[in-house]
């Protein structure tokens, strides 16, 4: 567990970032295109110290490489929206009870009709710019009832077989059996919201398959109780400590860091204030040296902030805003239900960032 963190502050983008880096006034955040000009030095139990990056003391500089160097491209994927853009992960829920209201089983679909609907949804997401499709067969909304691995496989394997030729797929599961079967059926990536804690056999399955892995923070290991009065000393540092520990456990099990992405798990045992703090302070987690994933899409916090209490598609505009904010804080992967709208917003956001034309001679 890290006893010290460097938190990047004073973020810059576009040509201003390049000029500031060249002038020694900023450092790149995970290789850029975002740069940071200030560093908050945090040691647990001590008063944080805020400094310009050029004044970071030699004793702290050893923490910089994972924070400023580009991490390996996650799963070898190049963003379809262009260099510097995040990867867009489109959600395909093969569930009857997903919090987002988009679960294909809720529509009463079965057999071939279900697979065709999933195929159409996945193809539309891919055409709109999705880099990854995330296939899930178990809702993990607060209070959700668990699903057996056998039932989960029955739901998702036909969908994975149908979608594997169209796009890189991740399987959203906590179960080793489901991971093994999904990888054999054509999935590329494992997305485990329990960060390999739920099933003791999971780490070995991922290691042996050589699969890229997403480790997510959840408070406790039970979606039924995770929202019962969640508490943290400092949510960002506590989540950072957890992710560092799970990252070390995955590496010890034979999964190289270069194959791992990390996710603070918005909504998984967090209040609205916790979610906002994690979004805002996301750059701190970049110090773990892995690409960061944010899944804010259609979550309850979006409903609370926007007044879209009824959920589902009504939370799309707020979800797009959260995705853009996450991208501006360095998120490398965005897990979203509304790919068309998110990809359109990201294209405009990226173009606007590059429109900062520097004066001659910078």
* Active-site annotation, residues: 299, 335
Half-sphere exposure of 79 (CA within 13 A, CB side): 19
Q: Which is nearer to ligand HH2, 172 or 338 (CB)?
A: 172
Per CB under 6 A, does 194 bind ligand HH2?
A: no
Please, what is the minimum distance in Å from the beta carbon of residue 267 to ligand HH2? 7
Given 115, 335, 349, 350, the residue binding ligand HH2 (CB under 6 A): 335
Q: Which is nearer to ligand HH2, 126 or 335 (CB)?
A: 335
Rounded to 5 degrees, what angle do the CA atoms 122, 147, 227 make?
A: 95
Cβ-closest position to ligand HH2: 295
CB 262 within 8 A of CB 283: no
Per CB under 6 A, does 178 bind ligand HH2?
A: no
Please, what is the minimum distance in Å from the beta carbon of residue 133 to ligand HH2? 12
Site size toward ligand HH2 (CB under 6 A) is 21
What are residue 261's DSSP bridge partners?
214
What is the 3-class SS of the chain, one letter each residue?
Answer: CCCEEEEEEEEECHHHHHHHHHCCCCEECCCCCCEEEEEEEEECCCCCEEEEHHHCCHHHHCCHHHHHCCCCCHHHCCCCCCCCCCEEEEEEECCCCCCCCCCHHHHCCCHHHHHHHHHHHHHHHHHHCCCEEEEECCCCCCCCCCCCHHHHHHHHHHHHHHHCCCCCEEEECCCHHHHHHHHHHCCCEEEECCCCCCCCCHHHHHHHHCCCEEEECCCCCCCCCCCCCCCCCCHHHHHHHHHHHHHHHHHHCCCCHHHEEEECCCCCCCCHHHHHHHHHCHHHHHHHCCCEEECCCCCHHHHHHHCCCCCHHHHHHHHHHHHHHHHHCCCCEEEECCHHHHHHHHHHHHHHHHCCCCCCCC
Per CB under 6 A, does 172 bind ligand HH2?
A: yes
Which stretch in 20-28, 110-118, 139-147, 238-246 sits in contact with ligand HH2 by CB under 6 A? 139-147
Please, what is the minimum distance in Å from the beta carbon of residue 265 to ligand HH2? 6
Which stretch in 27-35, 87-95, 105-113, 229-237 sits in contact with ligand HH2 by CB under 6 A? 87-95
Given 216, 308, 316, 336, the residue binding ligand HH2 (CB under 6 A): 216
Per CB under 6 A, does 263 bind ligand HH2?
A: yes
Please, what is the minimum distance in Å from the beta carbon of residue 348 to ligand HH2? 24
Given 139, 178, 342, 350, the residue binding ligand HH2 (CB under 6 A): 139
Given 99, 202, 250, 323, the residue binding ligand HH2 (CB under 6 A): 99
Candidates 286, 327, 332; CA nearest to 67 is 286
Please, what is the minimum distance in Å from the beta carbon of residue 298 to ligand HH2? 6
Per CB under 6 A, does 121 bind ligand HH2?
A: no
Please, what is the minimum distance in Å from the beta carbon of residue 307 to ligand HH2? 20
- The footprint of ligand HH2 on residues 293-332 (CB under 6 A) is 293, 295
Given 37, 100, 236, 275, the residue binding ligand HH2 (CB under 6 A): 100
Given 193, 284, 290, 339, the residue binding ligand HH2 (CB under 6 A): 193
Q: Which residues bind ligand HH2 (CB under 6 A)?
A: 91, 93, 95, 98-100, 136, 139-141, 172, 191, 193, 214, 216, 263, 265-266, 293, 295, 335
């Amino acid at each position: 567990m890290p006893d010290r963190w460097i938190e990047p502050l004073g973020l810059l983008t576009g040509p201003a970032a390049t000029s500031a880096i060249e002038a020694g006034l900023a450092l790149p955040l995970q290789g850029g295109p975002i740069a940071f000009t200030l560093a908050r030095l945090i040691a647990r139990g001590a008063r944080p110290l805020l400094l310009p990056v050029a004044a970071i003391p030699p004793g702290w500089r050893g923490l910089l490489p994972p924070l400023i160097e580009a991490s390996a491209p996650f799963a070898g994927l190049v963003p379809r929206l262009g260099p510097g853009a995040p990867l867009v992960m489109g959600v395909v829920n093969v569930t009857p009870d997903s919090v987002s209201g988009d679960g294909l089983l809720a529509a009463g679909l079965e057999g071939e009709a279900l697979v065709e609907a999933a195929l159409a949804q996945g193809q539309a997401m891919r055409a709109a710019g999705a880099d990854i499709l995330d296939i899930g067969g178990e809702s993990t909304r607060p209070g959700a009832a668990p699903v057996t691995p056998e039932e989960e496989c029955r739901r998702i394997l036909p969908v994975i077989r149908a979608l594997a030729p169209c796009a890189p797929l991740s399987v959203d599961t906590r179960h080793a059996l489901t991971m093994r079967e999904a990888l054999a059926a054509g999935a590329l990536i494992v997305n485990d919201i329990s960060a390999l804690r739920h099933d003791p056999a999971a780490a070995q399955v991922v290691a042996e398959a050589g699969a890229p892995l997403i480790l997510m923070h959840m408070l406790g290991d039970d979606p039924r109780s995770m929202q019962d009065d969640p508490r943290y000393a400092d949510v960002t540092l506590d989540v950072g400590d957890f992710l560092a520990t799970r990252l070390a456990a995955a590496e010890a099990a034979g999964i190289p860091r270069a194959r791992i992405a990390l996710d603070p798990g918005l909504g998984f045992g967090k209040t609205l204030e916790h979610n906002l703090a994690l979004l805002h302070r996301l750059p701190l987690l970049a110090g773990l040296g892995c690409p960061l994933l944010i899944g804010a899409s259609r979550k309850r916090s979006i409903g609370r902030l926007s007044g879209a209490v009824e959920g589902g598609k009504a939370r799309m505009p707020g979800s797009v805003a959260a995705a853009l904010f996450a991208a501006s804080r360095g998120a490398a992967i965005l897990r979203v239900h509304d790919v068309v709208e998110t990809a359109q917003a990201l294209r405009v956001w990226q173009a606007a960032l590059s429109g900062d034309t520097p004066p001659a001679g910078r």
